[in-house]
Structure 1
Amino acid sequence: MGFLDLDRLEKSFNETRVVRDFSLSVEKGEFVSFLGPSGCGKTTTLRMIAGFETPTSGAIRIGGQDVVNVKPNRRNIGMVFQSYALFPNLTVAQNVAFGLKVSGAPRDRIAARVDEMLAMIGLPDLGGRYPFQLSGGQQQRVALARALAPAPQVLLLDEPLSALDAQIRVSLRSEIRAIQQKLGITTIYVTHDQEEALSMSDRIVVMHKGIADQVGTPSEIYNSPATRFVASFIGTLNQVDAVVEDPANGTVEVGGQRLVLGRALGRARGARVALAVRPQALRIGAPGPGEVGLSARVVETQFLGAVQRIVVDLGGAPLSLDAFNRAGAHLPQTGSQVTLSAAAEDVLVLVD
Structure 2
Amino acid sequence: MSFLTLTNIQKSFGPVQVVHGFDMAIEKGEFVSFLGPSGCGKTTVLRMIAGFETPSSGSIVIDGKDQGTLKPNQRNIGMVFQAYALFPNMNVHDNVAFGLKVAGSPKSETDTRVKQMLSLIKLEHLADRFPYQLSGGQQQRVALARALAVKPQVLLLDEPLSALDAKIRVSLREEIRQIQQQLGITTVFVTHDQEEALSISDRIVVMNGGRADQIGTPFEIYNTPATRFVASFVGTLNIIEAKVADPATGAVAIGNQQVSLKEQIAGMKGGDPISLALRPEAGSIADSAKGDTALTGEVVSTSFLGSVIRTKLRIGSDVISFDMFNDPGLTPPTFGDNVTLRFAAKDLLVIRE
TM-score, length basis structure 2: 0.95
- Which residue in 1 is equivalent to 2:294? 293
Q: Percent identity?
A: 61
| C-alpha spacing 1:60/1:266, structure 2 compared with 1 (3 Å) | farther
Partner Cα distance (1:148, 1:183) in 2? 9
More deviation, 50-59/336-345: 336-345
- The answer to whether structure 1 residue 223 and structure 2 residue 223 are counterparts is yes
Contact 2:291/2:342 (8 A) holds in 1: no
- Alpha-carbon shift at residue 285 of structure 1 (Å): 5.9
- Alignment size in residue pairs: 352
- Which residue in 2 is equivalent to 1:328? 329
- Alpha-carbon shift at residue 73 of structure 1 (Å): 1.0
> Superposition pairs for residues 78-97 of structure 1, below 5 Å?
78-97=78-97
> Superposition pairs for residues 29-48 of structure 1, below 5 Å?
29-48=29-48
Partner Cα distance (2:318, 2:213) in 1? 26
- Which residue in 1 is equivalent to 2:308? 307
Partner Cα distance (1:305, 1:299) in 2? 19
Post-superposition CA distance 1:75-118 (Å, at most 9, x none) = 10000000111111222111111111111112211110011111
For the residue of structure 1 that corresponds to 2:139, the secondary structure is: helix
- Alpha-carbon shift at residue 190 of structure 1 (Å): 0.3
More deviation, 135-144/279-288: 279-288
- Which residue in 2 is equivalent to 1:104? 104
Q: What are structure 2's unaligned runs of at least 5 residues?
A: none
- Alpha-carbon shift at residue 327 of structure 1 (Å): 3.1
TM-score, length basis structure 1: 0.96
- The answer to whether structure 1 residue 118 and structure 2 residue 118 are counterparts is yes
For the residue of structure 1 that corresponds to 2:199, the secondary structure is: helix
For the residue of structure 2 that corresponds to 1:125, the secondary structure is: helix
Partner Cα distance (1:266, 1:6) in 2? 36
Partner Cα distance (1:102, 1:305) in 2? 50
For the residue of structure 1 that corresponds to 2:125, the secondary structure is: coil
Contact 2:277/2:349 (8 A) holds in 1: yes
Post-superposition CA distance 1:300-342 (Å, at most 9, x none) = 2222222222211011211111112223324344323322221
Contact 2:263/2:350 (8 A) holds in 1: no
Partner Cα distance (1:111, 1:313) in 2? 65
Contact 1:287/1:293 (8 A) holds in 2: no
- Which residue in 2 is equivalent to 1:278? 279
For the residue of structure 2 that corresponds to 1:152, the secondary structure is: coil
| C-alpha spacing 1:48/1:85, structure 2 compared with 1 (3 Å) | same
